[in-house]
Amino acid sequence: MAKIKPKVALVMGSDSDYPKLEGAVNTLREFGVPFEVHVMSAHRTPEKAATFAANAEKNGLQVIMAAAGGAAHLAGVIAGHTILPVIGIPISGTSLSGFDSLLSTVQMPAGIPVATVAVGSAGGTNAALLAVQILARADSKLAAALRKFKKDMVKKVESKNAALQKLLAKDN
């Protein structure tokens, strides 16, 4: 049986970042998007990061999510070596609680765009959702799944509001 080629890559600067990125993995799985995960560093393995990015399109990838903390140069290094969309995920872990990572990820020079999401676990989930949205532009099944996801979110919020209103009405 032929293995389905990944469409999205999640690269992280350290394996210690993985617990903060499980939402990204779970979201891609939820939408049935084939993906791959790698550990590589802009500073400790710069050649590996550059080679990965330079070959990503040829290898069938369509979107790259790059997560790093501290100086957080990984997304920028990846973006500098590919024409694929790159989504930067700033990771907290320093005394600055990820603010340094956020600024490093979002402050790319002109010509090296990196879409940047939130610091923390929401960032991984949102990066995966953004990757799914990018892929959905050419995949009607993914687009339908995203529409359903959004409708389900609305229903969950409405249900929580109804439960709260019921609780508050009891107290009055």
Q: Rounded mean pLDDT of 92-112?
A: 89
Q: Which residue has the higher pLDDT, 170 or 74?
A: 74
Do residue 16 and residue 79 come from a single domain?
yes
For residue 50, is it within any domain? yes
Q: Is 111 left (phi over 0), alpha (psi -120 to 50) or beta?
A: left
Question: DSSP for 55-121?
Answer: HHTTTT--EEEEEEETT--HHHHHHTT-SS-EEEEEE--STTTTHHHHHHHH-PPTT---EE--SSH
Do residue 101 and residue 128 come from a single domain?
yes
Do residue 22 and residue 76 come from a single domain?
yes
pLDDT digits (tens, 9 = 90+) for 159-172: 999 999 999 988 66
Q: Rounded mean pLDDT of 23-44?
A: 96
For residue 3, is it within any domain? no
CATH number of residue 52's parent domain: 3.40.50.1970
For residue 30, is it within any domain? yes
pLDDT band at 27, cuts 50/70/90?
Answer: very high
Q: Rounded mean pLDDT of 147-158?
A: 96
Do residue 48 and residue 129 come from a single domain?
yes
pLDDT digits (tens, 9 = 90+) for 110-131: 999 999 999 988 999 999 999 9
Do residue 74 and residue 156 come from a single domain?
no
The least confident of 75-79, 100-104, 136-140 is 100-104
Domain count of the fold of the chain: 2
The residue range of the domain holding 12 is 8-138
